[in-house]
Amino acid sequence: MKFLLKNLNVYYDRAFQKADILIVDGNVAAIGSGLFVGGDAAVFDFHGAHALPGLADPHVHLREPGFACKETVRTGTLAAARGGYTAVCAMPNLKPVPDTLEHLNVQRELIERDAAVAVRPYGAITAEERGEALSDMEALAPHVAGFSDDGKGVQSEALMRAAMEKARRLGKPIVAHAEDESLLKKGWAVHDGGYARAHGLVGNPSESEWRQVERDLELVRETGCAYHVCHVSAKETVGLVRLAKGEGLDVTCETAPHYLTLTDADLQDSGRFRMNPPIRSAEDRDALIEGVCDGTVDMIATDHAPHTKEEKAGGLAHSLNGIVGLECAFPVLYTKLVLGRITSLERLIEMMSAAPARRFGLPGGAIRPGEPANIAVFDLDREFAIDPAEFASLGRATPFEGWRVRGRCLMTVSGGKIVWRDDND
């Protein structure tokens, strides 16, 4: 199979250059000006669009096996492809939970059969994500990107220490959903921000996040484990991670588009604004932006978490936690952060492609001759409104609905195969 992508601004060797990309048998065969391909090979002329390394998301809920009414491997990875992603890490809150190799293989078979882009699953830290006993980490390790109990924090310090010790020996990171349940008020509803207070909703405080990160960092100092903090939302967590990096600890973290672009002042009484952790204050947002700019925040993940329409119909108080983001993350961040002169396009590529690829062993992260083609082509000038009705995902709940943004994905090439092409291009 051979095809040519012409007239692009290619992000190659950490700089943009006007060039064509020739792809042969799944690999980048050449990058250069005026490339020619004969025979019956397809040629796609992009008239100056930008070719980026395929995006990589380290935090995605594909919901299958167990919850196919919310999302499937097929629909979730098609959503990823439509958003310019060529690799994702799949979270383990599934049924069965991937806590043994037998359970993981159920998921792996679905991925092998249905995935449109590369998928690396996580193994669970604890059996059934119950926080009572460790999963079969040794059997899982060769097949997973790391270990996580996402959706729940590991409450037992002793169990987390044991998990870190084992993960270090196995050469895999612990990927932590940090949430101290002892700090959550019984019957908590949603947010700790201004809208929630005005409507009498009791929220999960930022301390529930940063206190557990603080505990875990002490354990990292003891064990030497590689540690990654999921969906950072609080200014205190940013400070803790910054100090840990200064000590030389093997620590990385992610935040999400909604924490960088929204504050509690933007909340509406709609399920599309409910997620965990919640959208917090302007001070928290500003601290996260500072972390993006100074390198404390390593990467941006969507925490793509689809639910059914009914599950998101209860407003802030009664909807399930989780929003979708794969299909709009890049244009939202390009519009708000790059066009807003907060950070550069090169830094955004680092956070959405190269950094997660390095940390979790994902394919891609760069466009290089001789390597598999993982490429996302974006028209950075094209403006459009985010319309969930167009999503490939089964989920439709996004706080970015109706936003006018720039940066339309025209084509996604994953592992040398065209997995998305904009019919309007």
For residues 279 and 204, state if they share a domain. yes
Beta bridge partners of 24: 2, 27
Per-residue pLDDT at 105 exceeds 60: yes
Lowest mean pLDDT among 36-45, 210-219, 280-289, 351-360: 36-45
Note whether residue 133 is domain-resident.
Answer: yes
For residues 225 and 337, state if they share a domain. yes
Per-residue pLDDT at 202 exceeds 60: no
pLDDT at 38: 80
What average pLDDT does the structure give for the chain? 95
Straight-line distance from the first to the last Cα atom of the chain, in angstroms, rounded to the nearest whole number: 22
Cβ–Cβ < 8 Å for 413, 375: yes
Domain boundary among 331, 360, 389: 360
Percent of the chain with pLDDT over 70: 95
For residues 214 and 87, state if they share a domain. yes
For residues 152 and 219, state if they share a domain. yes
For residues 331 and 376, state if they share a domain. no
Per-residue pLDDT at 250 exceeds 60: yes
For residues 46 and 173, state if they share a domain. no
Stretch (H or E) spanning 10: strand 2-12
Q: Over the stretch 48-83, which tens digit does the pLDDT of each residue have?
A: 999 999 999 999 999 999 999 999 999 999 999 999
For residues 247 and 310, state if they share a domain. yes
**Cβ burial, residue 143 (10 Å; 0-12/13-18/19+):** middle
Task: Respond yes or no on whether the N-terminal peptide bond of residue 306 is cis (omega within 30° of 0).
Answer: no
Domain boundary among 340, 360, 380: 360
For residues 203 and 83, state if they share a domain. yes
Note whether residue 196 is domain-resident.
Answer: yes
Under the banding of pLDDT at 50, 70 and 90, the label for residue 211 is very high
CATH of the domain at 14: 2.30.40.10
Instruction: Over range 175-201, report the average pLDDT.
Output: 66
For residues 100 and 115, state if they share a domain. yes
Note whether residue 76 is domain-resident.
Answer: yes
Count of domains in the chain?
Answer: 2
Note whether residue 365 is domain-resident.
Answer: no
In one-letter notation, the amino acid at residue 67 is F
Q: Which residue has the higher pLDDT, 364 or 218?
A: 218
Percent of the chain with pLDDT over 90: 91
pLDDT at 186: 47
Cβ–Cβ < 8 Å for 167, 225: yes
Note whether residue 138 is domain-resident.
Answer: yes
Per-residue pLDDT at 193 exceeds 90: no
Note whether residue 366 is domain-resident.
Answer: no
For residues 21 and 160, state if they share a domain. no
For residues 399 and 302, state if they share a domain. no
Residue among 382, 317, 320, 362 nearest 90 (CA)? 362
CATH of the domain at 245: 3.20.20.140
pLDDT at 289: 98
pLDDT at 194: 52
Note whether residue 279 is domain-resident.
Answer: yes
pLDDT at 315: 92
DSSP states of 351-367: IIIIHHHHHHT-S-SS-
Q: Over the stretch 11-52, which tens digit does the pLDDT of each residue have?
A: 999 999 999 999 999 999 999 999 988 888 899 999 999 999
How many residues would you count in the chain? 425
State the residue range of the domain holding 16: 2-51+371-421
Note whether residue 277 is domain-resident.
Answer: yes
Per-residue pLDDT at 201 exceeds 70: no
Q: How far is CA 356 from the centre of its chain?
A: 9
Q: Which residues are catalytic?
A: 303
Per-residue pLDDT at 203 exceeds 90: no
For residues 163 and 39, state if they share a domain. no
Domain boundary among 310, 328, 360: 360
Instruction: Over range 166-173, report the average pLDDT.
Output: 98
